[in-house]
Each structure stands twice: as structure tokens, then as C-alpha cells.
Amino acid sequence: MPPAERTRLHRTALLVLPALAALGVGILLLLAAGVPPFEALWRLYEGAFGDGGDVANTLMAWVPLVLAAAGLCVTFAAGAWNIGIDGQITFGAISAAAAARLVPGSTAVVVPAVVLAGLAGGALWGLAAGVLRTHGGVNEIFGGLGLDFVARGLAIYLIIGPWQREGVASTGGTDLFRREAWLPTVGSTNLSILALVLAIAALAGTVVLLRGTRFGLELKAIGKGPASAILLGVDATRRMLWSFLICGGLAGVAGAVQAIGFHHKLVPAVSGGYGFLALLVVLLVGFRQAWIAPVALFFAAILSGSTQLQLRLDIDSSLGGVLQGVLVLLVLLARGWQLRRDRSTVAVVGSPTGEAV
Amino acid sequence: MEAILTSIIAAATPLVFASIGETITERSGVINLSLEGSMMLAALAGFAAGYHSGVWWVGFLAAAAVGAAVAALVAGSSIALRINQVAVGFVLALLCVDLSSFLGVAYVRQRGVSVPHQPIPGLSEIPWLGQILFSHDLVVYAGLALIVASTWWMFRTGSGLILRGIGERPAAAHARAVPVNRLRYRYAAIGGALVGIGGAAFSLDVKLGWSFRHTAGFGWIVLAIVIFGGWHPVRAAFGAYLFGALQVVALKLQPVFPGLSQILPLLPFPLMIFTLVLVNRSWLRNLADRVPALRGLLSTDTPAALGRPFQP
Amino acid sequence: MTVALTGITKTFGSVRANDGVDLVVGDGELLGVLGENGAGKSTLMKILSGFQPADSGRVSIDGHQISLASPADAVAAGIGMLHQDPLVFLPMTVLDNYVLANPAQGDRRRGRHELAAAAGRFGFGLDLDTPVRRLSIGERQQLEILRLISLGVRVLILDEPTTAISVTQRAVLFAALRTLATDGTGVVFVSHKLEEVEELCTRVVVMRAGRVVGERAVPCSHDELVELMFGRRVDPEQRPPSLVGETRVRLEAVSVTDPLVPLHPVDLEIGAGEVVGIAGLEGSGQRQLLRACAGLTPFASGRFTLDGTDLTALPYRDRLTLGIRFLTAARIEEGLVEGLTVTEHVALVDDSGGGFVDWDEAERRADNRIERFSIRGMAGSTAESLSGGNQQRLLFALLPDRLSMLLMEHPTRGLDLESARWVWATLLERRGDGTAILFSSSDLDELLIHADRIAVFYAGEVVDVVEARLIGADRLGRLIAGAGRAAG
């Protein structure tokens, strides 16, 4: 077999085999739980794409995932592990909630204001993580993790404090936003065209940014050879901070969508774990942007399908998370195994720049 | 007051085990980001094993095994397979949380075994101190003993010195015929086992039973405590007790400041950031170097080779 | 114990670092291994101490061949290496460093006792409880020596140990080495510093271009050693003085602080179109000067002016806009970005505005430069896939057309003859533009043929600035080797 074909076969095998293995694991788990596996998988599919409402839910799970994943591609390009993305979503949601509560006017006025507020809030939170790295020498993994929890704490404080519900201060969330501050949807479903547009625009925008602009090229240089990049005249610190700003901004938009499109109020877990899930997506596609949209759809389908699974078959919805996690793990292991046998490169799986922490 | 201190000691025990365990792992140069998941999975395993066997320490053994296995997987994927430790650890964190939820459905609200209360005869009668330190169970005592034992081992024995060496500069250790990667496997597993024991200490002792996301958030907090503790067992334990105190205080103040119980426990994270910012301040390091007495207290040296795979 | 190296050969890519080298060292000997940078001394010692495997040849002890797969093997066989910057654990104390994984030290108390006794014996003043990172390089070396001795090392290799230590520490070190030799330990002293080898050693082996070119018993003729080190050179024919324009670059009493090699105040002027070469043994301050001129490290004192403007405190990126460029010796680590293609590099340095990159245009420009600079590679080739010579060509291709000042570190190191010639032909064109060129090199021929003036550095100071066409190769070699400088 000619070498070019062999590598393509190799690469496909690296994706297909782990996928099948993940499926196998899922089936085993279902059997262990005493659930007929194929019926469960069918229900999972049905839950994601069964009827219009289901598809809408899946797409609305797809939106924040894509926004966050697109943003992560930017920070990863610069060689940074932005674990703080979940906190950036949260803070974006907080800012969006503030706007939803404060900005008067009709939907046409409030909604854009809310989205912009989310963008700004997320960007600010991203910048915080970036500054900790560039000026504080704090690894963005721990800085980001810390900021994740600070954001969460802030949300809780607002929910039980200044923004508490009338009478009862509940950690369940604030009061619902007024109707004008809700994301307009299609028919009786949850689907928001605006949200879809934002997600697609974010994805397209980051692709253009990373592949077609000087900025993207400079980020790539910083990620792959920071010392050389600086010598060639790249302002590494500024670019790095901008990358965090951009990623945070996109995460903030995701937070805004979550706040006014899904919850319609501020809740403690407003980020929905989408930030972390987006990290999984990006790891799975090996930082290749072209694959984000379909893989994110797949993950979103599992996510929304598994909630239905819980409702209809009484199977814990965490099965979805298990499937996602097993898939990513197996793909990483497969790629690592592949690299182990290829001694010519210094690349490391799960590390866009070939370096460890 | 006595009652509060007693409950702090007890409540902090799981975190003492876990943070000392991760301290050992990170001192060897391996960063195990999966703690949130491995601790939860180990808590479930401990509960389930105890439930089915009816013996509490079987549960702890199972939990230790689970913790060690996950940690070994993280170490191995980096050492043998050239996968970024952070990536694998992170994936495992999420995966094991969901796995524990899924597998644990049957055990929710079940009554399992628990560690029997065992006050030490004689010592527990000492006024004040007797109740605070000696009226607990074996697991709590083991936790206290662990602090002493691990500190002594890490700073007073030859093998503890080697542990610190392989996380600091593996090349220098290698030049001294130290099998760096083999030891990293070993210490990652040991650390992971302790983390697992910490998990079981929740479901079988401090927070009996199993519930949805039973140990939620604690794994991440352990990571923060390890850093805040400057990779030193005593300081990590101090961080664990501090955190335990925060929780207890928050609970007590709940009627006055509702929701404080949700916010105070997040304090370790800003503290962690603060510590990390301090680490890089050379004036602090100079001060610590010049005053040996302060050194143990102030040093926040990250093991220089943390997270970096070593290729001999 | 006699250690013998026979027929050692080691090749790195196209460079033969060691070419059939034979070496013998016996008990109680003080053997010097002398040679220029790149002569192959370090490689040979790395092989002998187990840090690197040889391609062919063997190492034997007392006639029996041994295999050295790791540094631990070497130590077990009794061979220990002291690095220029020893492999120590920085945050740990002196005692801890000594005791770590040391099988001879059963318990700490005994270790403390032994270490204190040994240190006293050699006159090393070490505080056992200080963290090693507070120790100077010289003190770290002392610790390492004691540690290796305690492991039963019978042959101690020291690789350029005096590069970063003070004069007093050097005296202590030499006394210790003499004591060791009297004890029966063999000492291999690798250096490029003639006078030190002459002072310490009883026998000298000289290496050049990967081979052993001579062996002498010390004391011997100084000039003979110089000749062996640098080879008999044909003095370049007298060439007419080149036309140098007005002074553009003025360095007035500039100094640089550096933990290893601080640069003492230097005065230097460079005219338009003038080529000034910096000569000197490795670690004599050349790197410090170049990096400070580039703006990567600050000047501790003095003034740096270009065309009358004071640039002393100007940040790096601003110097780029003024037409100052720096090409380092590490082409990949600090030069080209690994993983980026030629086209991407070209697009990266292109400052013709615009946020978007026109990739077609960039590729066209890349092809253009590939042709102009004869780069053997394609627009889509990544930087690391190019050979050293082509990487250097690419680095030149990325320079703007007009430059005020060009700083270069070892511009032709590791290049084949054709590429080296090409580099200088290109630089000749730059001279015509009025660019001031400052470059460092350890190749005497290069300095003598291409430079207008040569500044010779030794131990962080400028020893002399000479006209290249007026100085002979022998005298240059001697200046570089420290002749004419009082030791310390």
C-alpha cells in the first residue's frame, strides 16, 4: 500500500476505532445497569433529534459549545491552556444578567445590549487570567481554575444577596428576567436564530482570524516558538493578552445565551459545564478547527439526548458524559500510542505546541 | 468551642489524606488534574465495596485501589505515551465524575457501613484536648498520623529526599542513577491511593452514604490546597484544616448569613492565586533563604519539573 | 587505574565532532585537554562520562573494555564528570545535594560529618545548610567534586571549570586538584585557556577539528601549543584598507551585568559599512555585548548611540524599527519558529500594514526570496526541515533591505563552505549600504579575512582592538588565548 494511503488509513483508524470502543464501553455500562443497550441508544438519538423541539434543544446546546470551542482555538494557538473558560462563561452570564435587569426597552434594544454585556464581561474575565499569566507568572491552568470558582462564588453571592428573589433568598436562582430580555425563539421551541448566527459567526470569525490575519499568524508563532517570535518582532505579551480577551469574549457570549436563552435568570451553575465540555471537544479534534462544528454537534446531541434518556428510561443523564469522556480519552490514548512509535517528532498529544505544562 | 474544633478535625480528614497524597504526587513531578473525578469515583467504590462486604476497611482498600489506578493512568500516559498530563488529567476528571454518577445510581440513599467511633481509652479523658484529638475514629487518627509520618519521611529520609529530587531536576537525579520514571509511577500511585482513601473518608465517615455528585468540588479544592500548602504536608494539612474551619464557620453562620456556606468554601481558590503570585516574587525567596527558621514556613517553591515528562 | 579511549568517533549530522580519537589517562595524572571551541573536547568528555554514546570506538579501564550507557554507569566504573554548571538541586541545601541518592551516605549525620571533613581538607568553605541556589558556580563545583569523590571516582573530568569562577576560587580549585592527584585520582582538565593548562597540568593533549593533533609534557613551549591549537595559518595577503564611512555606532564604557560573565566597560566605534569582528574564547563576553546592543538585555552603564541618537535604554522592538537586527547562533531556538513554513515566516516579518495576510502574495514573495537567496527548500517547507545552511539563508532573507546595524553571533557556525562563502558575499553587499556590522566568531580565518577590525575579548574585557589586515594569525591566536593578560 503506498505510504500516503497508509497514513490516511491510519488516521481514520485512529478516529474510528476509539469511537467504536467508546460505543462498546457504553453498551457494557448499560448492560451492567440492566438496561437494554440498543433501545437506550435509540432513545438517546431520539432525544436529540426526535422532533422539532428536540432538535431545537440540541442546537441550543450546540451554540455555547461552539462559541467556547472557537474561543479556545485562539488561546490554544498561542500555546495557552485556558481552563478558566468556564469562569469566563459564568462571568459573561453575570454581566448579561446585569444588563437584562438594568437595560430598559424592547427586545430589539435589550437583547443586543445583553449580548454585548456578556461579551465584555467574559472578555474581562479572560483578560484577568491572561494578566495573571503574563504579569503575575501564574500558570493559566491554576489561575483559570481559581477564577472559575471566584466567578461561581460571585454568581452565588449575587443570587442570594443583591439580586435575591422576592421574599425567599434561594440558591435556585434570581427571579426570571422580564419577557423583553428573553432571547427570541422560533415558534414554541427553544431555538434562537440569533444564537445560531452568533455561533456560526464565531466559528467562521476565528477561522478567519487564525488563518487569514497577521494576528493569527503571530499567535501561531508565539505558540510554536516564543523566543524566536519575540526576536522576529512579535509583541508576545500583547498578543497573548488579546487571545485571552477574545476567547473570554466568545465565552461571555455563550454565557449571555445561557442566561437569556436557556435559564432566563441567573443560576449558580449558569455555565452548564460548557466551558469544560468545549475543552474536551477541542482535545478530541486535535485543535483542528474544521472538525469543531460536527464534533460539537455530536457532543450536543449526546448532552440533550441523555436528558431525555433520564426522563423516559430513567437512566442517569451522566451516561452522556461518560460516553463523551470515554471517547476523548480513548482518542487521546490512541494518538499517544501512535506517537510513541513515531520517534522522529517531539510532538505531544493534547498539547498544541508540543510542550508539556 | 471544643465541639467546633472536634468537628473541624473530623471534617477535614478526607482533605488531609487527599492533599498530602497529591503533594507527594506533585513533588515527584507528576500533576494529577483528575482529582475531582478520581476522588468521587473512589468515594463511590469505597461505599460500594463496604456495602457489599459489610466491612468498612474493605471499602477503604477499594477506594485506594481506584485512586491509585487513575493516578497511574495519568502518569503512564505522560511517561509512556507522550500525552500531555494536563489533558489526560482533565478528561479523567470529567469522565470519573460522570462515571461515578452513572454507576452510583443504585447506591443513592442506601445505608452502608461506616467507620466505628473509637475514642482512645485514657487519652480521650484529657480535658479539652482529649475530646478534640482523641475522640474520633481510626480514620481520623490515621490522618493525623499521616501528617507526621509523611513530613518525617519527606524531609528526613533518603527516599524522601530522592522524591523531592526527581520533581525538582530529574536530569540531576538521573545522573545519580535514580530511576526517575519508575519512581514517578510509584509516587503517583501512592499519592493516588491516598486521594482515594480521602474519597472513602467522605462516603464512609464524614459524609456518610452516597448521593449525586457526593464529593462535588472537593477534588478541585485539593489542588488549590496543595499549592497553597507549598507542596509541604504540614502546610497542606493546615490548608485542609483551614478549609474545614471555613466550612464549619459557614454552617454556623448560615442562619445569619444564608448562602455563606456556599461562598466561603470557595476561598481556597483566591488564596491559591495569591500564593502563586507570591511564588514568583524573588524578595520572598531571598528572605526565606536567609532565614532558615522561616524557610519551611515561607517556601513556596514549585517543584521545577512539575508536569514535564522526563526522557533520559 | 588507567582509562583509555581508543578510536572514538562521533558524528552529528554532517559534523564529525570526534574523529578517531585516542586518549589515555592514568593514576595521579593531571592531564590537560586543550583546544578551541568546536575542537571536540566536550563531546569526547561526554562520551567518557556516559552522557553520550560514541558511534564507534571503545572505552577501557585497565585494559578491559567497559560499556557506558548512562552517567551512572560511568560513576560506577569510577569516572565522574564535573560540568561547567553542575547538575545540582537548586532549592536544596548543600548537605542535601551531597546526600541525595548517595549510597555511601547511610545517614545524614554521618554525611554531614564526612562532608565537613572533606571540605576542610580541600580548603572549601561551604556552609552545609545554605540552599545551593545561593552558591556561586565555583562553590557548586566544589560541592560536586566532593560528592563525586565520595562516590569513589578515580578519574575526575572537569569540563571548562574556570569559565565562571573567580580568581580566588580558581586557586582553591587548582590546589584541590593537585591534592587529588597526589591521592592517586586521575584528573582530566578540559579547557581552551592555555595558561591555566600550563599552570596546572603535567601533560597536555591538544585537539583540533575533532582530532588529536599533538601531545606534550608540561612545561613546554607556549608558542608550540598555540600553533597546535590554532594550526599554522597562512596570513591573508595584505589587502588595501576598505572604505569606511563616518562613525555610526558608538559604544562608550558600556557594561553588562551577567551572573556568569559580566562584561566590563567597553569602548568601541563602528563606521558605516565597517565590519568589526569580536574574537575570543567562548564565554568571554561577546554574547553579552551583542545581546545588549540588540536590546535583549540592558546595559548596566555607559552609552550606546546610533547616528548620534542615544539608544541605551531603548526596548528591543523599538530598535527593530530603527534598523538594528540581531541573528543569534541558535537558529531554531532563537531565530526561526519551528513548525512555521517559509511563507509564514515571510508573512510574519512583512510589515507592509494590513490586518489580513494575502497568502498568495506571501507565497510569491517567499518564492522570490528563495530564489534570490538560493535557499534549498520550498515555500511550504517548515523551518526545521531546512538544513543549517539554508536556515541561515532564510534568516538573511527575512532581514529588511536596508539596515543601520547588523549584529551576528557566529554567522557561519556549522555551515558548509559554500554556504559560508555565500553569507559573506551577502554581507559584503550590506557594507555597500552603509550598514555597521558587528559579529562574533571563533573562526580565525573568518575574522582575518572578512573583518576590518577585530576586538579581542578575554574574561569579560576587551584586550585589544586591532586592524585585521595588519595582525598575523599567530598573534591573534595568542591574544585570544589570553597571552599578554596577567592571569587574574
The ipTM, to two decimals, is 0.90
Provide the pLDDT for residue A171. 74
Note every long-range contact of B5-10, with CB atoms under 8 Å and residues 24 or more positions apart, other chains counting: B5/B132, B6/B131, B6/B132, B6/B135, B6/B136, B7/B248, B8/B241, B8/B244, B8/B245, B8/B248, B9/B132, B9/B133, B9/B136, B9/B140, B9/B144, B9/B241, B9/B244, B10/B136, B10/B140, B10/B205, B10/B206
Contact A145 B97 (CB under 8 A): no
Name the least confident of A199-213, C54-68, C103-117, C310-324: C103-117
- Asked if the model's pLDDT at residue A315 lies above 70, the reply is yes
List the domain range (segments joined by +) for residue A110: 59-285
- Of B161, B295, B312, Cβ closest to residue C99: B161
Mean pLDDT (whole number) for C80-107: 86
Residues of chain A in contact with residue C349, where contact means CB-CB under 8 angstroms, are: 232-233
Nearest CA in chain C to B293: C129
Whole-prediction pTM value? 0.88
Nearest CA in chain C to B166: C89
Domain assignment of residue A135, yes or no: yes
Whether the CB of B172 is below 8 Å from some CB of chain C: the reply is: yes
Tens digit of each residue's pLDDT (9 = 90 or more) over C364-419 = 999 999 998 888 888 888 898 888 888 999 999 999 988 999 999 989 887 777 78
Most confident range (mean pLDDT) of A4-18, B160-174, C441-455 is B160-174
Residues of chain A in contact with residue B80, where contact means CB-CB under 8 angstroms, are: 340
* pLDDT band of A357, cuts 50, 70, 90: very low
Provide the pLDDT for residue B276. 81
Whether the CB of B297 is below 8 Å from some CB of chain C: the reply is: no
Q: In chain B, which among 27-46 make CB contacts under 8 A with chain A?
A: 31, 33
Subunits with 3+ Cβ pairs within 8 Å of B are: A, C
Residues of chain B in contact with residue C75, where contact means CB-CB under 8 angstroms, are: 176-177
Q: CA dihedral defined by C64, C65, C67, C72, rounded to 10 degrees? A: 40
Provide the pLDDT for residue A23. 86
Tens digit of each residue's pLDDT (9 = 90 or more) over A18-73 = 888 888 888 888 888 777 888 888 888 888 888 888 899 899 999 999 999 999 99
The grid coordinates listed for B129 are 484536648
Tell me which residue of C182, C177, C186, C202 sits closest to C122, measured CA to CA. Answer: C177
Longest dimension (CA), chain B: 60
Domain B2-298 is of which CATH architecture? Orthogonal Bundle (1.10)
Domain assignment of residue A48, yes or no: no
Of chain C, the percentage scoring pLDDT greater than 70 comes to 95
Provide the pLDDT for residue C487. 41
- Of A212, A228, A234, Cβ closest to residue C334: A228
- Asked if the model's pLDDT at residue A353 lies above 80, the reply is no
Contact C348 A217 (CB under 8 A): yes
Substitution target from A211, A231, A235 for chain C, most C beta carbons within 10 A: A231
How many Cα atoms occupy the beta-carbon half-sphere of B202 within 13 Å?
27
Mean pLDDT (whole number) for C232-257: 76
The grid coordinates listed for A202 are 464565531
Residues of chain B in contact with residue C101, where contact means CB-CB under 8 angstroms, are: 158, 161-162, 165, 173, 176-178
Of chain A, the percentage scoring pLDDT greater than 70 comes to 94
Mean pLDDT (whole number) for A298-326: 86
- Asked if the model's pLDDT at residue A356 lies above 50, the reply is no
Contact A229 C316 (CB under 8 A): no
Provide the pLDDT for residue C484. 56
Residues of chain C in contact with residue A355, where contact means CB-CB under 8 angstroms, are: none
CA of C148 to nearest chain A CA: how many angstroms apart?
32
Tens digit of each residue's pLDDT (9 = 90 or more) over A212-246 = 999 999 999 999 999 999 999 999 999 999 999 99
Residues of chain B in contact with residue C111, where contact means CB-CB under 8 angstroms, are: none
Number of domains in chain A: 1
Domain assignment of residue A75, yes or no: yes
Mean pLDDT (whole number) for C25-36: 90
- Give domain limits for chain B: 2-298
Provide the pLDDT for residue B303. 87
How many Cα atoms occupy the beta-carbon half-sphere of B255 within 13 Å?
1
* pLDDT band of C106, cuts 50, 70, 90: low
- Asked if the model's pLDDT at residue C235 lies above 60, the reply is no
Q: How confident is chain B (312 residues) per 10-residue block, as mean pLDDT?
A: 85 95 96 96 95 92 97 94 91 95 88 86 78 84 94 91 94 90 96 96 89 88 90 92 86 75 81 81 70 65 85 77
Provide the pLDDT for residue B297. 61
Domain assignment of residue A169, yes or no: yes
Strands (E), C346-422: 405-409
Domain assignment of residue A117, yes or no: yes
Residues of chain C in contact with residue B175, where contact means CB-CB under 8 angstroms, are: 71-72, 87
- Asked if the model's pLDDT at residue C240 lies above 70, the reply is no
Tally A–B CB contacts below 8 A: 166
Whether the CB of B161 is below 8 Å from some CB of chain C: the reply is: yes
Domain assignment of residue A41, yes or no: no
Q: Could you give the 3-state DSSP secondary structure of residue A52?
A: helix
Domain assignment of residue A325, yes or no: no
